[in-house]
Amino acid sequence: MKKLIIAILVVIPFVLMLGAIPFVNRIHPIILGLPFFHFWLFLGMIIVPICTYVIYRLQKSEGSIE
């Protein structure tokens, strides 16, 4: 089960940064004073490290990382 969660967490950043770009490449709406595309990239800069940290914690609890 943990391997499935890890696989999903690995895929999320790729989908967020590469797969969704054609769908979010627009100026409107303006969120927090940023065009939507810039807000999307900023959101990715927050989500990717969180996914990486959760993967690290899951692997450490599994004993894969010493």
pTM for the structure as a whole: 0.79
Q: Rounded to the nearest 10 degrees, what angle do helices 36-62 and 2-14 cross at?
A: 160
Cα angle for residues 60, 62, 65 (degrees, 5° grid):
40
* Per-residue model confidence as pLDDT tens digits over 4-19: 999 999 999 999 888 8
Q: Rounded to whole angstroms, how far apart are CA atoms 24 and 10?
A: 21
* Per-residue model confidence as pLDDT tens digits over 42-62: 999 999 999 999 999 999 887
